[in-house]
């Protein structure tokens, strides 16, 4: 049976989507989830390009993945330099992974017009870089950038690039439709030609600018490609990358290619929503296979048809991809779900009898108010603690007041820095009530400062904790400024990071709840 390797680039190419920014913690959690889904290769980022990706690779060494291999991405050496002194190639070697992908140009025009070097030098850059990485004992995938455009314009040069990369020892030649403008019929022709050139495995990396990334990927597989790159939910620059959430079920259910196990496929919907939550994007209800509405039936005829035969108006059994009509914890019954949720978040806390019942009620109530715990494991852990009969919180929120004042009247767009925010908070620690005030750059910053000021007197070590990320999501856009707002805050003590959630119709209150959870979590877990 044909084997296909799945290669995910959500953490690099997917993060190029407008509005998406993954923190290191986000990336580590997505990596774990992709491993559960059965992805074979997870591209974590470009260690030579930014410190965040370098940090990701150093922290990812501690992840225990059941099957996936982490991949670091980079490019070939620069023109007229040596591979062994190229900072970007050295960063790949130092990233600690065993598999790397390097991108190089495979279109003659791109070489002369954009890279501004000679066709021969480009071939040397590719060969030198692959040889250097192979000599370091790495598995090397070569991304042939602009392959299909290059093939159309001057197929002999594009083919030469593949031959050179194969001779240099590349373990896979990944044909890229970088601009996303190729048709499936053209993909088939080019892949077949490439297949005749070499026995090195071929891959496909398609972009969706012509709404054909999934179709092109499947056409490439039919023409002999065995390595498939894509992203969860098709996230990516411009119109996005090939969507693995469609490719995987198409391969497995329609083309009979066993790329993941049945149990892994049944996690597809969960993974899709998990990644959209972390990306802070509203899950697309109409995404094929995984959208919450794509197996719903409004029409009476369809509903009655489905009752007679489940296949009558749907192309697959939604159970196979784990898609069930929207199931919230609040709609589930029983404490098993809470225990399951706790385990999913990596918590092994005592959840039994009355405690589980109390916790379930609490989660139901909070989820109905817009709280969401998939992306805020620390707040969920606090809920579990709070459901325990003898829980003593390190502090309790009593009250807060925030004043935002524009000092220049009337305010102008240029005078934003003149805005003054001041917060007054009341917190209870033991039997004492603390009353403090602080000014800040914006109301959330003022609240954060006032809250710390109150707590530092009791817990000086809290000074290590910083707020590192702040995400806001409007939950019901239809009612404008009165909408429910969810705030997710990431805090860090320099070693560990954790996320907390707050929700309210008031953005300040939502932030306040998330901030307080962030500090309470750390106080409970500090050793
Ligand atoms: Zn790409």
Q: How far is the CA of 206 from the centre of ligand 1 (A)?
A: 7
CA 73–ligand 1 middle distance (angstroms): 11
Element (H, E) at 468: strand 466-474
| Residue 469 CA, ligand 1 centroid: distance in Å | 27
Closest CA to 176 of 104, 116, 112: 104
99-110 pLDDT, tens digit per residue, is 999 999 999 989
For ligand 1, the distance from its centroid to the CA atom of residue 237, given in whole angstroms, is 8
Q: How confident is the model at residue 326 (pLDDT cuts 50, 70, 90)?
A: very low
Q: How far is the CA of 322 from the centre of ligand 1 (A)?
A: 28
Cα 205 to averaged position of ligand 1 atoms, centre (Å):
7
Q: What is the distance in A from the centroid of ligand 1 to the CA of 241?
A: 7
Query: What value does the mean pLDDT of the chain take?
Result: 89
Residue 473: closest CA among 463, 484, 481, 460: 484
215 alpha carbon – ligand 1 mean position (Å): 16
Write down the pLDDT at residue 340. Answer: 66
335 CB-side CA count, 13 A? 12
Q: What pLDDT shows up at residue 325? A: 54
Task: Report the separation in Å between the CA atom of 63 and the middle of ligand 1, taken as the mean of its atom positions.
Answer: 26
Distance 101 CA to ligand 1 centre (A): 12
Query: 240 CA distance to ligand 1 centroid (A)?
Result: 8
The SS3 call for residue 440 is: strand
Identity of the highest mean pLDDT range in 256-265, 273-282, 382-391, 440-449: 256-265
Per-residue pLDDT tens digits for 192-243: 999 999 999 999 999 999 999 999 999 999 999 999 999 999 999 999 999 9
Q: What is the model's pLDDT at position 468?
A: 87
Section 504-516 average pLDDT: 94
- pLDDT score recorded for residue 185: 98
pLDDT at 210: 98
pLDDT in tens, 269-304: 999 999 998 898 888 989 999 998 888 765 555 656
Q: Tell me what the mean pLDDT of segment 500-520 comes to.
A: 94
- Cβ 260 vs Cβ 267: under 8 Å: no
Closest by Cα among 45, 75, 250, 82 to 176 = 75
Instruction: Pick the range with the lowest mean pLDDT from 146-160, 356-370, 452-466.
Output: 356-370
Percent share of the chain, pLDDT over 90: 67
Q: What value does the mean pLDDT take over residues 449-478?
A: 88
Q: How far is CA 450 from the centre of its chain?
A: 33
304: Cα separation from own chain's centroid: 39
Q: pLDDT band for position 362 (50/70/90)?
A: confident
Question: Separation of 177 CA from ligand 1 center, angstroms?
Answer: 8
Average pLDDT on 42-46 reads: 97
Asked whether residue 171 carries a pLDDT value surpassing 90, the answer given is yes
Q: Is the dihedral of CA 236, 242, 247, 248 positive or negative?
A: negative
CA of 14 to the centre of ligand 1 (A): 8
What mean pLDDT is predicted for residues 26-43? 96
Q: What residue spans of 169-201 are helical by DSSP H? A: 184-197
pLDDT exceeds 80 at position 443: yes
338-341: which pairs have CB atoms within 8 A and are 24 or more residues apart?
338/363, 341/373, 341/380
What is the 174 CA–ligand 1 centroid distance (Å)? 11
Identify the pLDDT of residue 332. Answer: 47
Protein residues within 5 Å, CB atom, of ion ligand 1: 13
Q: How far is the CA of 227 from the centre of ligand 1 (A)?
A: 15
Task: Say if CB 332 and CB 356 are below 8 A apart.
Answer: no
């Amino acid at each position: 049976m044909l084997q296909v390797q799945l290669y995910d680039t959500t953490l690099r190419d997917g993060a190029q989507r407008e509005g998406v920014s993954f923190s290191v913690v986000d990336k580590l959690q997505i990596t774990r989830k992709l491993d559960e889904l059965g992805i074979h290769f997870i591209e974590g980022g470009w260690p030579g390009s930014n410190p965040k990706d370098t940090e990701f690779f150093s922290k990812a060494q501690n992840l225990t993945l059941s099957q996936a291999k982490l991949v670091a991405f980079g490019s070939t050496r620069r023109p007229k330099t040596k591979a062994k002194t190229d900072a970007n190639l050295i960063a790949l070697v130092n990233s600690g992974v065993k598999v790397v992908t390097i991108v190089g140009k495979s279109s003659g025009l791109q070489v002369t017009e954009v890279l501004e070097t000679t066709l021969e030098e480009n071939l040397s850059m590719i060969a030198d870089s692959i040889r250097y990485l192979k000599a370091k004992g790495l598995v090397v995938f070569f991304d042939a950038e602009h392959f299909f455009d290059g093939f159309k314009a001057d197929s002999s040069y594009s083919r030469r690039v593949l031959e050179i990369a194969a001779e240099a020892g590349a373990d896979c030649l990944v044909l890229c439709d970088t601009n996303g403008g190729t048709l499936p019929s053209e993909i088939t022709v080019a892949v077949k030609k490439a297949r005749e050139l070499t026995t090195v495995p071929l891959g496909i990396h398609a972009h969706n600018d012509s709404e054909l990334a999934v179709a092109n990927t499947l056409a490439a597989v039919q023409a002999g490609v065995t390595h498939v790159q894509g992203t969860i939910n098709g996230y990516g620059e411009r119109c996005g990358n090939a969507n693995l959430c469609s490719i995987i079920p198409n391969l497995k259910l329609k083309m009979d290619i066993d790329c993941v196990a049945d149990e892994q496929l049944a996690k597809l919907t969960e993974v899709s929503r998990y990644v959209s939550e972390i990306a802070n994007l509203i899950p697309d209800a109409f995404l094929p296979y995984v959208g919450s509405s794509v197996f719903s039936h409004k029409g009476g005829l369809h509903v009655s048809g489905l009752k007679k035969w489940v296949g009558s108006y749907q192309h697959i059994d939604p159970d196979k991809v784990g898609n069930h009509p929207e199931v919230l914890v609040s709609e589930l019954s029983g404490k098993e779900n809470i225990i399951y949720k706790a385990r999913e978040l990596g918590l092994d806390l005592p959840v039994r009898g009355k405690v589980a019942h109390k916790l379930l009620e609490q989660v139901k109530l909070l989820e109905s108010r817009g709280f969401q715990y998939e992306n805020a494991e620390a707040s969920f852990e606090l809920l579990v603690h709070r459901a325990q009969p003898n829980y003593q919180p390190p502090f309790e929120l009593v009250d807060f007041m925030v004043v935002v004042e524009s000092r220049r009247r009337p305010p102008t767009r240029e005078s934003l820095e003149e805005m003054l925010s001041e917060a007054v908070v009341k917190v209870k620690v033991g039997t004492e009530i603390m009353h403090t005030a602080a000014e800040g750059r914006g109301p959330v910053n003022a609240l954060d400062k006032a809250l710390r000021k109150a707590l530092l007197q009791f817990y000086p070590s809290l000074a290590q904790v910083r707020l590192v990320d702040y995400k806001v999501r409007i939950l019901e856009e239809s009612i404008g400024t009165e909408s429910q707002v969810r705030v997710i805050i990431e805090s860090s003590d320099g070693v560990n990071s954790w996320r907390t959630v707050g929700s309210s119709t008031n953005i300040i209150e939502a932030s306040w709840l998330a901030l307080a959870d962030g500090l309470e979590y750390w106080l409970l877990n500090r050793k």
